[in-house]
Amino acid sequence: MSGYLKSLFRHIRSLTSATGRSVVWTRLRHRASLHQSATTTFDDRYPELFAALAARLSPNAAILSFGCSTGEELLSLRRMMPTARLTGVEINPRARRIARRLTAADPLIDVVSTLPSGPFDAVLALAVLQREPMRMIAEQVADLGRLYPFARFDDGVVALVDRLACGGFLLVFHAHYRVEDSSVADVLRPVGWFPLLDGPLFDRDSRRYDPTPPAAALFVKGDDKWAAISAPSSNS
């Protein structure tokens, strides 16, 4: 079966559920700027990452969750940071409605459809700056250009960094490209002790890296005078 027919059958199957229909609508409505289209998520998905970040943010930090899906990520962040100001961005209308219902009782959580201006003390893009990751692995895709070109990833990273305060954290996890390859890499400094991205990863030409170079997940926005953040102590 050709790749086109496989894609067609996937879309037809998607139309049998409300979630699937919302994903298809989102792909059609935002095809020129879409990153990840799936809304799959679950509670307490990244506890170690959130704990490490919470230990280095002020209690009242402003945090942006880019691609918050149905809101579980926001609730997980809330448990780690009880007084932080949380903003979730979600373009899928059905997922956004669910997220708003899930977080309606919390006055310090907003769920919006487009990127607010910021600035934010931390910006999170977790399993968002990618497309169909299981397919990438199963089919050993070598060229990602047609499905998710590097330029789209780069535009996304630029927009997120633009909303990040100087000294703020950018956390990108489960992505298809390296933030180090982005056009704003020169204003970011990787935090070396934090977990690295796993593969597959693709280069600026949307071709699969072989071998895969190291790719950081956590960065700090700063200038050339920025000093490296030390690794956490055994007491942190």
Interval 201-217: pLDDT, tens: 999 999 999 998 999 99
pLDDT category at 234 given cuts 50, 70, 90 is: very low
pLDDT category at 46 given cuts 50, 70, 90 is: confident
Mean pLDDT lowest among 31-35, 170-174, 229-233: 229-233
- What's the pLDDT at 103? 97
55-94 pLDDT, tens digit per residue, is 999 999 999 999 998 999 999 999 999 999 999 999 888 8
pLDDT category at 9 given cuts 50, 70, 90 is: low
In angstroms, the CA 88 to CA 100 distance is 9
* pTM of the shown model: 0.82
pLDDT at 22 over 80: no
pLDDT at 44 over 90: no
Which residue ranges form the domains of the chain, and what is each CATH number? 42-221 (3.40.50.150)
Mean pLDDT lowest among 30-39, 68-77, 174-183, 191-200: 30-39
Average pLDDT, the chain: 83
- What's the pLDDT at 122? 96
* Residue 112 near residue 64 (C-beta atoms within 8 A): no
Residue 181 tokens, joined: 């390859």
Helix H segments across the chain? 3-14, 18-29, 47-54, 72-80, 93-103, 133-138, 150-162
Contacts of 124 (CB under 8 A, 6+ apart): 63, 64, 65, 66, 73, 77, 171
* Residue 41 near residue 65 (C-beta atoms within 8 A): no
In angstroms, the CA 85 to CA 78 distance is 9
- What's the pLDDT at 144? 92
The more confidently predicted of residues 5 and 21 is 21
CA 10 from centroid of its chain's CA atoms: 24
